[in-house]
Structure 1
């Protein structure tokens, strides 16, 4: 998740336990949280239609409470949620049961380092360890230590988990969106100027520094791992530019905003300045 005004809780990330479960519930149920998941459900549905095989086997690395996973399970996918927060994995199982898809959602207490260990034990000459049709890594990369080299290593590990012809979906807070939000929401012009060239930003929710991961770096890492970049999306292109959050709670305004977000999520130039970027690569044979 992207921190900031209008985002009262942080999304659970692989290796980063969020203690404020009530705060998380508040964020995910608020208009900005609902928009995030509605747009990603829309984009992943498009991606899934381009991947052969049914039911699709999906790995959600850092999947937290299973919000993305349950939406995919409703579409018939079989999803493995990877996370190190036992409480959030419990919530993922409960959400799957409530949605009637408990038989299609599996949870595993593990993180990206466990995936890397699995990849290292596999004969990469035989194509790596990948058996999944689709791998998600959403709102995780910016919280991993190690800078650009860590991003490249993590993307290579994720790609090793997907079969040739399958897809890897990466999503992170957008540096360009950070700058626009500083101006439009907070009227913080010095802060926006600083963010233009900053390599890290302060996450006010987790109260820690996070690295700013550009979509261009994600695309470069995917190509280095022998993937083509097949999709580019912007998640919440306009929501964070509407400073009056009370309007988003109005049903009519929210419905119009959702339609606008869905219509613009794959359109230039709007996807370039969205609150979060989403890039989808396809592993070559």
Structure 2
């Protein structure tokens, strides 16, 4: 099995997610992976390069077309499969994962729960698609990180609205993306009959250092991984991540 993505030059902001996935994807056994809302293949193509078979379900035909081009260019087109569909309606495009023959070994649900109609339904659909013992990687926006980002950008009124779990711009036609707290995310995962592991912060400092031309990318990645599971740093990260298993 080739070197895992956590040791490659992938975006530093995703280092904590890849580090959490490394023990699963780097064990040497090809996996059946489901990427819900995986769009153009930011995770799917690197996973396919590692030898895994990846099915991406996404509502956007344009994103799936980009996925196909990216997979073909990377030489992994045969291991990447795109299906048009919604996360809360996976049963319409996928078989039930009631056994090891039909279920997925790993599912990704990265920054999808913010925009779906019902996060609880989407997680239940994903759990249903897993084989018993399969795992799901869930990444979401962190409310605390969003509060600090709005405050630092000079928008204290919007920051306070997020603190109070209100829409910071209620007059617009497009609804505000959801933000999650660690406790809220873990409760949502458990309600889907999944067993969560420890939660991590995603992009604790990477976004802050992105504009710094002098920052060593490898050093930023190492710092991200070191801070991801450590409070108080993880508490104010841009995102949250948890790896959960289907019993």
> Would the TM-score normalized by the shorter structure come out above 0.5?
yes
Q: Tell me how far 1:99 sits from its aligned partner.
A: 1.9
Structure-to-structure mapping, 1:59-98, within 5 angstroms: 59-98=34-73
| Alpha-carbon separation, structure 2, partners of 1:58 and 1:90 | 19
| 1:75/1:61 CA distance change after superposition, 3 Å | same
| Unaligned 5+ runs, structure 1 | 1-32
TM-score of the pair, normalised by structure 1: 0.72
2:89 counterpart of 1:114: yes
Instruction: Give the conservation status (yes or no) of the 8 Å contact 1:129–1:161.
Output: no
Query: What does the per-residue CA deviation read over 1:32-53, in whole Å, with 9 as the maximum and x for residues that have no partner?
Result: x933344433332234357xx8
Residue aligning to 1:197: 164
TM-score of the pair, normalised by structure 2: 0.82
| Alpha-carbon separation, structure 2, partners of 1:187 and 1:144 | 29
2:115 equivalent among 143, 147, 150: 143
Q: Tell me how far 1:251 sits from its aligned partner.
A: 5.5
| 1:201/1:64 CA distance change after superposition, 3 Å | farther
Task: Compare the two structures and name the one with the higher helix fraction.
Answer: 1
Q: What is the RMSD of the two structures over their aligned residues, measured on CA atoms?
A: 2.9
Residue aligning to 2:180: 213
Instruction: State the 4+ residue runs in structure 1 displaced beyond 4 angstroms.
Output: 126-130
2:182 counterpart of 1:239: no
| Unaligned 5+ runs, structure 2 | 1-9
> SS in structure 2 opposite 1:209?
coil
| 1:197/1:39 CA distance change after superposition, 3 Å | same
Deviates more, 1:133-142 or 1:189-198: 189-198
> SS in structure 2 opposite 1:158?
helix
Residue aligning to 1:267: 230
Residue aligning to 1:158: 126
| 1:98/1:118 CA distance change after superposition, 3 Å | closer
Aligned length: 236
Q: Tell me how far 1:174 sits from its aligned partner.
A: 0.6
| Alpha-carbon separation, structure 2, partners of 1:183 and 1:78 | 42
| 1:196/1:98 CA distance change after superposition, 3 Å | same
